[in-house]
Structure 1
């Protein structure tokens, strides 16, 4: 969904969850959630299983945690 260091935080906020809520729902520690939210590199280096647990708890795909809604590439003009 968002490709910046706020990605996980923003998704969690949209779902109106605290870090504690997400930790309980994902089976991870609150500290782990905080670590993932504080630095995108921590999230990128996380075990896939853990990212999958977070995604499932949030009801989103793993891709949504890493992909931006704002493309880094310019959109091509689509004319009919």
Structure 2
């Protein structure tokens, strides 16, 4: 098992950024363009799309909370 990195504000921010970059790369998102990347364009403010985005936010927060509960440590892969 790789060496784990202790929790700190800087490590937490790096972990969050690294996870966001991986999602952006996997999904082909430009992190600077926001919701305009959602398709189809006429559904951008559709209730189903809004709910899916909120579910993603909730899942991300749950995952981050779990990481903290597991000893305030992050795997090296969560670093940029």
Per the normalisation by structure 1, the TM-score is: 0.31
- Is the helix fraction higher in 1 or 2? 2
Q: Could you say which structure has the greater relative contact order, defined with CA pairs below 8 angstroms and 6 or more residues apart?
A: 2
